[in-house]
């Protein structure tokens, strides 16, 4: 029998942290502000919880600040496409219900300055798991699955100045969705994902908006997969994670160099293997987290995040999502702030409307102090009143 699981994140104030022997410890008498844990239990285990703490083995750690903002004004959703044009974020299509299965064609514009949403011209068709990216002052949405579970191979360009969608050259294969993607030097790169032949792919393509052409590039070096994640830093792209779709999940990661059309392995992702994770770039660092893991026969949505430093080729745990874990949220980065919108909890199929803003990391200095007690406990029932 599958055990129900919930993942939550809380915060602990910095002055409740102590540093000793290259580790970070929590003082016994602390105020909860940040804490990652997974709730594990059956209905009869009403208030039982398992707390999973991450020990950070550096003298300093990088603190990514997460702020919960006003909820999205539309219906909750996940598996959307997203991109940034002219300093505003766009969230397109997605899935808003499971029973009955409901996909939408809506396009929403988010203004970070005013924290407001405006509905724009709808995408030409309703879809789940399309690919979204921006090059210059144009947004692009590719493929996606319709409610008949058929993947499209169409590409549309969005012009924010006149609020219109224009068809472009289609993807070279028979349908596409659930791909990783990144943008380097005004070209978009799309790889892996699902196809209409029911097989996941390792193929990898470059799209040049200037010529409206697709070019086949070196195949992704890992196993075929769907719902992997990608990001770019400078002149390089990075991609990894994902799933075969049959409970096989990955934590491998690779670096792509477009100048040589070649892939190379980088340090594997240190968190749980997962799919439908979220990724963004701030201040020359990559951030990857959230998504869905497979644990003890159950799918659980995660909220932890990790920072990737391309100079040291190292991953460091950072502040996660402030609230329940989730998968396949919309993601866009504006002015060194990243925004996560929506997502799904994979427990009771909740479609979120949450918006979180992640801001740049900051270093917290090491302090010499006395080692506090190794064990502590507190009553979770006021925080997580679970119903039977």
**Digit-coded pLDDT (tens) for 260-315:** 999 999 999 999 999 999 999 999 999 999 999 999 888 999 999 999 999 999 99
pTM: predicted TM-score of the whole model, two decimal places? 0.80
Confidence check: pLDDT of 120 > 90: yes
At residue 63 the predicted structure's pLDDT band, cuts being 50, 70 and 90, is: low
How confident is the model at residue 322, as a pLDDT?
83
User: What pLDDT, in 10s, does the model give residues 363-388?
Assistant: 333 333 333 333 333 333 333 333 33
At residue 197 the predicted structure's pLDDT band, cuts being 50, 70 and 90, is: confident
The residue-averaged pLDDT of 201-207 equals 97
The residue-averaged pLDDT of 192-197 equals 93
Q: How do the residues of the chain divide into helix, strand and coil, expressed in percent and rounded to 5?
A: 0, 45, 50
More confident residue, 206 or 21: 206
Contact between 321 and 340 (Cβ < 8 Å): yes
How confident is the model at residue 56, as a pLDDT?
29
CB-side exposure of 374: number of CA atoms within 13 Å?
Answer: 2
Q: Is the peptide bond before 193 cis (omega within 30 degrees of 0)?
A: no
Return the structure tokens found at 146.
């319709």
The residue-averaged pLDDT of 140-146 equals 97
The strand ranges marked E within 143-277 are 155-159, 164-168, 180-184, 187-191, 204-208, 213-217, 229-233, 236-240, 253-257, 262-265
Confidence check: pLDDT of 118 > 50: yes
Confidence check: pLDDT of 15 > 50: no
Q: What angle do CA 321, 326, 332 make, to 5 degrees?
A: 65
Confidence check: pLDDT of 40 > 50: no
Separation CA 71–CA 341 (nearest Å): 8
Q: Which of 237, 233, 325, 324 is nearest to 277 (CA)?
A: 325
Confidence check: pLDDT of 2 > 60: no
Confidence check: pLDDT of 20 > 70: no
In sequence order, the 6+-apart residues with CB closer than 8 A to the CB of 42 are: 1, 3, 4
User: What pLDDT, in 10s, does the model give residues 155-188?
Assistant: 999 999 999 999 999 999 999 999 999 999 999 9
User: What pLDDT, in 10s, does the model give residues 75-117?
Assistant: 999 999 999 999 999 999 999 998 899 999 999 999 999 999 9
CB-side exposure of 23: number of CA atoms within 13 Å?
Answer: 12
Separation CA 68–CA 20 (nearest Å): 31
Confidence check: pLDDT of 204 > 70: yes
Return the structure tokens found at 162.
């006149």
Buried b / exposed e along 307-339 (16+ C-beta atoms within 10 A): bbeeeeeebbbbbbbbbbbbbbbbbbbbeebbb
Q: How many residues does the chain have?
A: 388
Hey, how many other C-beta atoms are within 10 angstroms of the C-beta on 378? 11
Q: Tokens 């996941």 identify what position? A: 200
Q: Tokens 């804490």 identify what position? A: 35
3-state SS, residue 358:
strand
How confident is the model at residue 65, as a pLDDT?
87
Separation CA 318–CA 339 (nearest Å): 16
User: What pLDDT, in 10s, does the model give residues 305-356?
Assistant: 999 999 999 999 998 998 889 999 999 999 889 999 999 988 888 999 999 9
């Amino acid at each position: 029998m599958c055990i129900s699981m919930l993942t939550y994140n809380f915060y602990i104030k910095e002055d409740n942290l102590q540093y000793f022997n290259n580790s970070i410890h929590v003082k016994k008498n602390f105020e909860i502000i940040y804490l990652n844990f997974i709730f594990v239990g059956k209905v009869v285990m009403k208030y039982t919880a398992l707390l999973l703490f991450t020990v950070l083995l550096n003298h300093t750690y990088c603190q990514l600040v997460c702020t919960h903002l006003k909820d999205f004004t539309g219906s909750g959703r996940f598996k959307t496409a997203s991109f940034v044009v002219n300093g505003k974020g766009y969230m397109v299509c997605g899935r808003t219900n499971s029973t009955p299965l409901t996909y939408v064609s809506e396009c929403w514009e988010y203004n970070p300055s005013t924290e407001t949403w405006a509905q724009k011209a709808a995408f030409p068709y309703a879809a789940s798991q399309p690919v979204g990216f921006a090059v210059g002052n144009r947004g692009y949405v590719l493929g996606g699955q319709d409610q008949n579970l058929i993947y499209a191979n169409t590409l549309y360009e969005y012009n924010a100045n006149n609020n219109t969608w224009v068809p472009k050259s289609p993807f070279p294969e028979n349908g596409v969705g659930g791909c990783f993607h990144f943008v380097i030097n005004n070209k978009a790169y799309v790889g892996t994902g699902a196809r209409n032949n029911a097989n996941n792919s390792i193929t990898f393509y470059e799209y040049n908006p200037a010529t409206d052409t697709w070019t086949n590039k070196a195949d992704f070096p890992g196993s075929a997969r769907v719902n992997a994640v990608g990001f770019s830093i400078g002149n390089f792209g990075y991609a990894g994670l994902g799933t075969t779709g049959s409970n096989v999940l990955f934590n491998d990661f690779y670096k792509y160099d477009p100048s040589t059309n070649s892939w190379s392995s980088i340090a594997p992702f240190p968190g749980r293997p997962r799919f439908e994770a979220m990724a963004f770039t701030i201040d020359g660092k990559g951030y990857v987290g959230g998504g869905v893991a497979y644990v003890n026969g159950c799918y659980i949505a995660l909220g932890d995040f990790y920072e990737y430093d391309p100079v040291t080729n190292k991953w460091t745990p950072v502040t996660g999502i402030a609230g329940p874990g989730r998968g396949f949220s919309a993601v866009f980065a504006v002015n060194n702030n990243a925004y996560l919108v929506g997502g799904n909890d994979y427990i009771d199929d909740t479609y979120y409307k949450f918006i979180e803003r992640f801001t740049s990391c900051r270093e917290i200095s090491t302090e010499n102090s006395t080692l506090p007690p190794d064990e502590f406990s507190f009553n979770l029932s006021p925080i997580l009143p679970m119903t039977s």
